[in-house]
Structure 1
Amino acid sequence: MLYGTMKVAIGGPLKVAFRPWVEGLENIPAEGAAILASNHLSFSDSFFLPAVLDRKVTFIAKAEYFTTPGVKGRLTAAFFKGVGQLPVDRSGGRGAGEAAIRSGIQVLESGELFGIYPEGTRSPDGRLYRGKPGGLARVALATGAPVVPVAMIDTEKIQPPGKVMPKLMRPGIRIGAPLDFSRYQGMEHDRFVLRALTDEVMYEIMKLSGQEYVDMYATAAKRQIADAAKAERDAEKAAKAALARAEKAEKAERDARAQTENSGS
Structure 2
Amino acid sequence: MSEETNNIILKAEQLSIGYKTKNNESVVASHINFELEKGQLIGLVGANGIGKSTLLRTLIKVQPALSGSIVLNGEDLKSTTSLELAKQLSIVLTEPISSKNLSVYELVALGRYPYTNWIGSLTEKDIAITENALKLVNIEDLKTKRCYELSDGQLQKVMLARALAQDTDIIVLDEPTTHLDMYHKAYILKLLQKLTKDTGKTILFSSHEIDLAIQLCDTMIVMQNDKVVFDEPRHLISQGVFEALFPSDLIVFDTKTGGFRVNK
Q: Which has the higher strand share?
A: 2
Rg larger for: 1
TM-score between the two structures when normalised by the length of structure 1? 0.36
Q: Which has the higher helix share?
A: 1
TM-score between the two structures when normalised by the length of structure 2? 0.36
